Amino acid sequence: MRVFVDCDPGIDDAVALAYLAARPEVEIVGVGAVFGNNSVDVTADNALRLLALYGRPGVPVAVGAARPLVQAPRLAEHVHGDNGLGDVELPAPSEKPVAESAAELLVRLVRESPGEIDVLAVGPLTNLAIALGLEPELPGLVRRLVVMGGAVRVPGNVASHTEANINNDPEAAEAVFGAGFDLDLIALDITMKTVATPEWLAELKEVPGERAERTSAFLDFYAEFYTGIFGVRQCAMHDPLAAAVLVDPHLVTESFEAPLRVELSGRLTRGMTVADLRQRPARDDRRPARVITEVAEAAFLGLMLDALR
């Protein structure tokens, strides 16, 4: 399968890249970087460093949006470290980002191979919204879109009702949700209950090799932050779970379909992901997304560990 990754690495973005890179059947056709967990210069640089670490040098990395479509940017150094990778230093990249923007690279690739490329979007959706502006037929050119973002039936993480990726660019997310993609949503509904447990983190520490060692060091930083939320030393696996659902859809054991919208004006709810959850929702011309609500957690964690061995 051929995958374009749009991301803001970011510790869990890094682990998502590790998952994809370890799978021989996955061709990573390009990576778009976006602001989010850090500035776009840092996230693009991290993408290059991570592709080298995980054995996929040569993948084109394109710099994308430095800020949201409308609001001011907010970054997340307190969650991902000053360098976006838990303050773990990886060797400086030997490659540079390509000259095209992330949106331009995505549009060119899907025009060259219509219906063949899947997109994994695990950062703010700004690059995808810009790509939709460049190519309104994008939803028909992309095979499948898997998005990590939103909090549908659970509390948010950056505010009471909002998840970071959607909150970082609500206008972009609304444009993407309304565009008609074949879309799977990996929201906090599933990622906050599919965690790297203390036992799993301990098992990872025993895995030899640079990839596992570095990833374990990233996750040490992440688990430190998440200990304040879970009360135990474990961490969410937001972006890796989205990568896993893309590559291994059989991991999904429960989901529901609903059209998604993003609240753009609420005083308390701007950035909220809204699904019509009524038994008999009103007629809606928006294509429904598949919201993942249960996965085979042990199988996912096993596959994640395999990817780092």
The catalytic residue positions are: 238
By CB under 6 A, tell whether 105 contacts ligand BDR.
Answer: no
Helix extents (H) in 113-251: 126-134, 138-141, 164-167, 170-177, 188-191, 198-205, 210-230, 238-247
Amino acid at 262: V
Give 12 or 174: the residue with its C-beta nearer to ligand BDR. 12
Closest CA to 237 of 186, 272, 271: 186
By CB under 6 A, tell whether 184 contacts ligand BDR.
Answer: no
Residue 39 contacts by C-beta under 8 Å, 6 or more apart in sequence? 66, 75
Residue 20 contacts by C-beta under 8 Å, 6 or more apart in sequence? 3, 5, 26, 28, 120, 243, 247
Radius of gyration of the chain (CA): 18
| Binding-site partner at residue 157 among ligand BDR, Ca ion, none, CB < 5 to 8 Å by type | ligand BDR
Is the bond preceding residue 10 a cis peptide, omega within 30 degrees?
A: yes
Q: How far is CA 237 from CA 13, 33, 91, 110, in A?
A: 9, 19, 25, 28
By CB under 6 A, tell whether 165 contacts ligand BDR.
Answer: yes
Give 16 or 53: the residue with its C-beta nearer to ligand BDR. 16
| Binding-site partner at residue 6 among Ca ion, ligand BDR, none, CB < 5 to 8 Å by type | none
Smallest gap from residue 12 Cβ to Ca ion (A)? 6
Amino acid at 44: A
d(CA 123, CA 141): 21
Total number of residues that touch ligand BDR (CB under 6 A): 15
Q: Using CB under 5 A, pick the residue from 10, 86, 150, 271 that binds Ca ion.
A: 10
Of the chain, the end-to-end C-alpha distance in Å amounts to: 22
Closest CA to 187 of 67, 75, 272: 272
Give 31 or 76: the residue with its C-beta nearer to ligand BDR. 76
Q: Using CB under 5 A, pick the residue from 3, 4, 13, 33 that binds Ca ion.
A: 13
Question: To 5 degrees, how large is the angle CA 12–CA 17–CA 20?
Answer: 130
Q: Using CB under 6 A, pick the residue from 90, 164, 237, 308 that binds ligand BDR.
A: 164
Smallest gap from residue 24 Cβ to ligand BDR (A)? 25
Give 16 or 141: the residue with its C-beta nearer to Ca ion. 16
Q: x/- site string to Ca ion, residues 108 to 137, per CB under 5 A?
A: --------------xx--------------
By CB under 6 A, tell whether 104 contacts ligand BDR.
Answer: no
Q: Using CB under 6 A, pick the residue from 6, 10, 50, 161 that binds ligand BDR.
A: 10
Give 53 or 141: the residue with its C-beta nearer to ligand BDR. 53
Piece of the chain touching Ca ion by CB under 5 A; list 11-19, 149-157, 189-197, 289-297: 11-19
d(CA 23, CA 6): 18
Q: Is 264 exposed, middle or buried (0-12, 13-18, 19+ CB in 10 A)?
A: middle
By CB under 5 A, tell whether 84 contacts Ca ion.
Answer: no
Give 165 or 216: the residue with its C-beta nearer to ligand BDR. 165
The residues facing 186 across adjacent strands are 148
| Binding-site partner at residue 100 among Ca ion, ligand BDR, none, CB < 5 to 8 Å by type | none
Chain residues in the site for ligand BDR (CB under 6 A): 10, 12-13, 37, 76, 79, 122-123, 148, 157, 163-165, 238-239
Applying CB under 5 A, the residues found at the interface with Ca ion are 8, 10, 13, 122-123, 239
